[in-house]
Amino acid sequence: MKIVGLITEYNPFHNGHLHHIQEAKRITGADAAIVVMSGDYVQRGVPAIMPKRLRAEMALKCGASAVFELPVCYAAGSAEYFATGAVSLLDSLGVIDSLCFGSECNDLDALNRIADILLTEPVRYSRLLKKYLKDGLSYPAARMHAVSEYSGTPDHAAVLSDPNNILGIEYLKALKKLNSPIVPFTIKRAGAHYHDRELSADNLSSASAIRSLLAYSGAALSTDRSGGTFENSSFSSILSELEDQVPSCCLELLKDYHRVSYPVYQNDFSLILKYKLLNKHPQDLIRYMDVSEELANRICSQLDNYFNYKQFCDLIKTRETTQTRINRALLHIMLGIKKEDVSEYMTGGLHYYVRLLGCRKDSEKLLARIAKKSTLPLLIRLAESGSLPRTGKKMLRNDILASNLYTSVVTDKYKTAYQNEYKQRLLKV
């Protein structure tokens, strides 16, 4: 049996994701697709628009055989941390033959050449990077210019300007660092651009556009209505607009769980974040991932001007710091993700368990093979975590806390029954 691995967020699941699953199986000749998916928080440093199990159910109904959760310290990390965490998790399963990811350029050779530069960091490249950083460019912009000048290939700058290309490069770096036998493949990202906020006429809209439309379905004080130019409309009309943009089974789930467990937005966590910040001094904040001394001081100096989560992110942003970096820094503070802990996870082997969120009912043989081949314990129920090493238990506690916090926000917003992570059952489709 040949198995392809997919690294995803499905925030939310749409036609482009279905295309990815189908094409990944086709071009790799795989019999099954195993997904590693972000949990309740995503790589942009914000909460997912809907809970992880709802997104996992969509994936399973659309062809994935099993969905594993990426620990939150990697899921909400920079592209490098996200890719390293996800690729190493797939590698640890011991059954993955290939990795297939979408990219804007669809040029594996170009992605590999850039990955080699970033991985080996030649002296001239490092000098160019420092020069552009000294000139005041943000790190992504400085890296883009340095790679282009070092390689003598202007096209490399364009490659590094697109988010899926950047993630693809990080996947390739991770495979090389791990010396993994997993073979990489890339397919061209179909349909709308990653950042497009308008629905696409070709029925392949971006997740950003779909989230923008769903923002008008929440009708609550904490709903984020930024982006997009959609007119205020009823949820039935929103579903009609999405009818051709998401698989039919996903449309049914969107209908069934609307205002039961989604939509969820950054501002729904506003009071939680402010509480965390009120209890911190700059010297405390620099312990958290993505928080520099300069950013810690700015957070504390601007705290009196805090009105809500998203507004505060905008307030403390500077030209040198990307919006995503600010989002991640504040999320790490809220979730308690510290530099020393992540460093301990990384040096200790990156992962200590593989947590299964859901699977198809016909995947018993596949799961049995994973249980036999995996270098890590297969965690199906949290009650099975007692034998994990101390560091593994700490990582799992952080995952559980992050999920319970998300669930608490959902239950408060929609007045639904609370169910903590220990009571959640394995999803089977």
Annotated binding site: 7-20, 102, 164, 189
- State the Cα–Cα distance between residues 101 and 83, nearest whole angstrom: 11
Q: What one-character-per-residue DSSP string does 247-282 give?
A: -HHHHHHHHHHBTTTB---GGGGHHHHHHHHHT--H
- Assign 191 to helix, strand or coil: coil
Q: For residue 85, what are its two tokens? A: 């965490």
Q: Which of 87, 114, 108 is nearest to 27 (CA)?
A: 108
Q: Strand, helix or coil at 63?
A: coil
Q: How far apart are CA 158 and CA 60, in angstroms?
A: 34
Q: Report how far residue 72's alpha carbon sits from residue 77's, in angstroms, rounded to the nearest whole number.
A: 8
SS3 106: coil
3-state secondary structure of 128: helix
Binding residues for ATP: 7-20, 102, 164, 189
Going by C-alpha positions, the residue among 191, 266, 254 that lies closest to residue 19 is 191
